[in-house]
Structure formats: structure tokens, C-alpha cells
Amino acid sequence: MKLGFLVLLGNVLSLLAHDCGNNPATTTTMMTPTDHLDDVKAEIQNMTTRMQHFGFNLMQVELGKSNLNNFVMAPFSVWSLMLVFHEAAVGETFDELQDALGIYVEYPELREWYSAVRVFHRSQTNDSSIHSMRYVYYDKKNIEFVHGYYSIVLEGDPENIYDLFFLIDILGRPGAVNLQSSTTINKINEDVRLGTSNFINSSYTTRSFTYSNPLLAISANYFNAKWRFSFDKSQTKVEQFYNDDGSPAGKVHMMVQTGKFAYAKNVKDLQADVLELPFYEGDLVMIVILPKRGNGVGLMLRNLKALGLQPIFRELEASKNESEVEVKLPRIDTNSRFELRHSLPAVGIKDLEHSYRANISRMLISAYDIRKVFLSNCDHYARIVVNEEGAVPRKSSGKKNIKAQFHMNRPFIYLVLKRSYNLLIHAGVFQKGDVK
């Protein structure tokens, strides 16, 4: 965790110790420093759990719109983008965002925690490639910036600032632009491309913004990482993929490897089998959830929301390195775009899209009416690439020693997590083969 967060906790503990020492009458009733530290940890843990729930809610909404297509999202990035508006909101809009995002920690603690974890939005090493951007643009003709507003999200990643056209000189605040200018629109498209290191492209035009005072929020995220153990490319073959009912659903490049993995069969209350595939980079993992035949990913997502990830982690931990599993996983290269403005109400964020209900007056106000600034455009881009590449070669050991098979040849869900921080980096649904 970042040094600043530790310093904050140290200062809090010192103040508590000072108060206790100077007021003996309260020493038997006041919270001890250890109690306070435990409370802070519990609050952060609860917030990240609610953040996961926010991500599962979004997945469920988009699953209903997917028309059985594959899709991927970056829940931590979308949550972070909404944090910009949480920092800006007032009144009922603030209460709504607080509930939807699950933010009940004190704001200084929230800022220190986010300072520590925002580095996971971006990573460029020999073993992982994570590129992303989150930004907000407002039309400067009819909208005014409220001086004094500063967003921990919009200040970017100090260790790896990317060259957003509008970001360099205005860290911590949204960009004032002319959204009816083709030059501006081209620069925004360039921001998406540069922010994701050329892996994602947007195609905005002046016709993308039809409101008189447009406000645009963008989140774009690319993920690719090496496995801890590579899949054997010579074993990859084109195989049939199936729907939940067993009917054909296209073909896939099916990768295969056999080894000891954390594996939980028929997880109680989930009605699914679960496998953990470790990436080489730190504690980055992919959790793959394969519903029991006939249940489908929709039912499984509802079960996952009710159950949460902690019971699954406990079952995986109990089985780690015990099971010899034959794993079959399709290559994945999924590129998705979501217009979130009309999806956010389904996850509890309703005010932002309404001109007379949205109140983000700590950040932006209308030149004519404080209630006229609302989120007119909110777009989320995500791409994930998963192939055979790994840090350590491992070929199949043959079927005679296999205790379990985990074959992802029907619809499944995958979650990319930073385990130590409980962060849901990417999450996707694979529902059909994509081999042309």
C-alpha cells in the first residue's frame, strides 16, 4: 500500500493515543488504536466487496442486451469513473452514488486508498500489458467549472501519465472543450487511442452529441498478461463450442494444459464449477466460472451476486495445488463498447442522466441553471486478449494422471482480479465461438 495511506493511519493512531493519554476518564470507553485500524481495514474490505457487486450488476444488465455475443467489461475502471461524479455530487445525487458504489468510508481514507490502487489501471512489463484512461469532457459554451473541485481520479497516475490532449495542464479536473468542433472530436478519439496504447479506437463525430450542453464521460481499458504456466501452442486446436442447450455455437481455438490448479467443483449456492488460473504478474488471477449444464450464465450471475466471491476464494484456497486438472480454455480476443448512460439507472445511478435531477454542482454548473448539467454521454470501452503465452512452459502430462477436467466449451464467465486488493479488473462472458 502507498506510503501516504500508512502515514494517514499513523497520524490517526497517534492522535487517538494522545487523546486517551490526556483524558483518563475516557480510556475505558474510547476505541483503541488497534480497534480503529481494524475498522478502517473492514470498511475498505466492505467497499471493495460492494464494488464487486456493482460490477456484477453491470454485467447482468449488459448480459440482457448482449444477444448471446461475447463481451468484456472493466468494473474497477467504471467504478472509478463514477467516483468522479461521487466527488462532485450534492444532495440526493450524492446519496444515490454513495449507495450504488458502496462508498461509506471517510473521504480522506477513500482518497488515500485510491492513491494506492489506481496504479492497477495501468501496467507495462514483459509479463503484463494493462492500459486504460478515464476522463470527463464538458462543453464550455454553456457549462462552467466550479473552481476548487479536484478529483483524485482525474489527476491520473503520477508514475505513468499518458499524453491526453486535454489532461496535461488541468490535472484533477474535467476538460473544457467545444464538442461541436471536429478538431476537438478528433482529439478525443486520439485520447482514447493514446490512453490505451493504440489497442482501442473510438469513432466519435460531432453528431455523437445532440444535447445543447453535452457532458461526456469515457472509460477505456485494455488487458493482456502472460500466464504463470503457458499453454502448449502445439496442442491448440479448432473445436466446437456449444450453447447451454447443447446446440452448436460456433468454433473456437481451444487451448489446453494439464497441471495442479485451485479447483472447486459444484460450489454450493453457485451451481457452477470454479477454476483459478494464475498470471505470472504478482497476485493477478483469472477466476473462471462454468455453470452446471442447463443453468446458463444468467442464473449463475444472479447466484454470484447473492453469494459473493469470498466463499469461492475459501473453497479455491482449500483445493490449491491438490487437483491435477485438464484445462481447456478458448483463446479470447474480445473488444466491447457500452453506452452506459441508460444502463446506470439499472444499477442504482438514476439522477445523473436527468437534467432536472442531476446535481454535480461541486464540479460543474450550467451558466443558466444549476440543475441543467447532466451526464449526456457515458461510454465504456474494454478489450481483453488471452492466448497461450506464459512465463513457464508446461506441456500436457497425459490423461492417465488427470483427476478432473475443466473444459470451457459452453458459456462461462471469467473474472480478472488483483487478489491482494480485492479488485475486479476485468470481467467477461464468453457465449459463442468466434473462429471465422
Distances (CA, A) of 145 to 139, 255, 314: 10, 51, 47
Pick from 258, 230, 216: nearest CA to 374: 216
CATH superfamily assigned to domain 227-333+386-430: Alpha-1-antitrypsin, domain 1 (2.30.39.10)
Q: Map out the domains of the chain as residue ranges.
A: 44-225+338-385, 227-333+386-430
Share of the chain above pLDDT 70, in %: 84
Q: What is the pLDDT of residues 119-131, one digit of tens each?
A: 899 888 888 899 9
| Alpha helices (runs of H) in 285-339, residue ranges in sequence order | 296-307, 310-319
Eight-class DSSP state of 338: E
Cell of 84: 468522479
Q: Between these two residues, 371 and 408, which has the higher pLDDT value?
A: 408
When the pLDDT of each residue in the chain is averaged and rounded to a whole number, the result is: 86
pLDDT band for position 30 (cuts 50, 70, 90): low
The rounded radius of gyration (Å) of the Cα atoms in the chain is 23
What would the mean pLDDT of 299-311 be, rounded to a whole number?
Answer: 93
How far is it, in rounded angstroms, from Cα 292 to Cα 305?
17
Pairing of strands 332-339, 175-177: unpaired
Q: What is the pLDDT of residues 344-387, one digit of tens each?
A: 999 999 999 998 899 999 999 998 776 689 999 999 999 999 99
Share of the chain above pLDDT 90, in %: 64
Pairing of strands 128-139, 332-339: unpaired
Q: What is the pLDDT of residues 144-162, one digit of tens each?
A: 999 999 999 987 654 444 4
pLDDT of 400 over the 60 cut: no
Residue 95: predicted pLDDT: 97
DSSP string, 245-278: TS-EEEEEEEEEEEEEEEEEEEETTTTEEEEEEE
How far is it, in rounded angstroms, from Cα 328 to Cα 405?
8
* Lowest-pLDDT choice from 67-81, 95-109, 268-282, 400-414: 400-414
pLDDT band for position 166 (cuts 50, 70, 90): very low
Cell of 130: 494493462
pLDDT band for position 20 (cuts 50, 70, 90): very low
Distances (CA, A) of 246 to 79, 141, 300, 351: 36, 56, 17, 42
Residue 242: predicted pLDDT: 95
Residue 6: predicted pLDDT: 41
What would the mean pLDDT of 91-108 be, rounded to a whole number?
Answer: 95
What would the mean pLDDT of 88-93 be, rounded to a whole number?
Answer: 96
How far is it, in rounded angstroms, from Cα 71 to Cα 62?
9
DSSP string, 220-244: EEEEEE-EEE---GGG-EEEEEE-T
Q: Between these two residues, 404 and 375, which has the higher pLDDT value?
A: 375
Number of residues written out for the chain: 436
Pairing of strands 404-407, 323-330: parallel
CATH architecture of 44-225+338-385: 2-Layer Sandwich (3.30)
pLDDT band for position 311 (cuts 50, 70, 90): very high
Residue 66: predicted pLDDT: 87
pLDDT of 274 over the 90 cut: yes
Pick from 433, 414, 432: nearest CA to 227: 414
Indicate if the alpha-carbon torsion angle 16, 18, 20, 22 is positive or negative: negative
